[in-house]
Each structure stands twice: as C-alpha cells, then as structure tokens.
C-alpha cells in the first residue's frame, strides 16, 4: 500500500505535498507569510512547469466527486497560485504597501 498523497504521475511533487496541500485559503495564506522566499521559489520552480499537466489531470473529474489524490493535487495548485504572488509580483511574502492591514477570506467554494 503506497502512502503517496498525489496521483502517481506527480510523484516528484510528493516532497511538497505534506506541507502545501492545504484545503483553505486562510491556511495557505498563513503558510505563505511564514515561509522564506527560498522555500517558495523552490516549490514554484518545481511545480510551475507541471502545473498545466496537473490542471489537465484535475479537470477530468467532477468537482463534487474528485478522487482524494486529485483533490490534493488541486490544493497544491491553489498553493502554487498563492505562492505565485510572492514569487512573480511582490518578490517578498507580504503584499507591498499593505501596512498592518489584513483581509480574511471567510467563505469559499470547496474543494
């Protein structure tokens, strides 16, 4: 019995899955703010080239009936987008010029 979290085709992403497969935006947001740019850049560099493949894998299934490994892959894609703002736009974990402000996401569709 394998204890892989992700679909077999994405085995090279297993090392990121335990950390970045998170179900909600508040969890992903908190992790981004508590991660170093080096960690996020490494995750981004490893996963972005596979992202289109991962989307193609996830979109085979109905959203309300996804296999657990595909749902975790979707969560990993959500984290990639979360990290992309730090990597592509701000070059730091925090939003530039956001001061002490916070905005909480209190409702979102699942998964």
Residue ranges that bind another protein, judged by CB under 8 A: 25, 48, 51-52, 55, 58-59, 61-63, 66, 70, 74, 77-78, 80-82, 84-85, 88-90, 95-109, 111
**What is residue 94's DSSP assignment?**
S
CA 50 from chain centre, in angstroms, equals: 13
CA 82 from chain centre, in angstroms, equals: 6
CB nearer to another protein: give 12 or 53: 53
Distance CA 55, CA 75 (A): 11
**What is residue 95's DSSP assignment?**
P
CB nearer to another protein: give 1 or 106: 106
Q: How far is the CB of 28 from another protein (least distance, A)?
A: 9
Q: How far is the CB of 31 from another protein (least distance, A)?
A: 14
CB nearer to another protein: give 1 or 109: 109
Q: How far is the CB of 6 from another protein (least distance, A)?
A: 14
Q: CB neighbours of 11 closer than 8 A, spacing ≥ 6?
A: 4
């Amino acid at each position: 019995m394998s204890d892989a979290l992700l679909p077999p085709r994405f085995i090279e992403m297993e090392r990121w899955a335990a950390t970045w497969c998170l179900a909600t935006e508040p969890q992903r947001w908190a992790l981004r703010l508590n991660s170093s740019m080096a960690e996020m850049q490494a995750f981004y560099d490893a996963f972005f080239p596979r992202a289109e493949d991962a989307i193609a894998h996830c979109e085979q299934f109905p959203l309300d009936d996804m296999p657990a490994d595909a749902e975790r892959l979707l969560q990993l894609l959500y984290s990639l987008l979360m990290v992309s703002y730090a990597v592509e736009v701000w070059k730091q974990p925090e939003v530039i010029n956001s001061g002490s402000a916070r905005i909480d996401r209190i409702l979102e569709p699942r998964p």
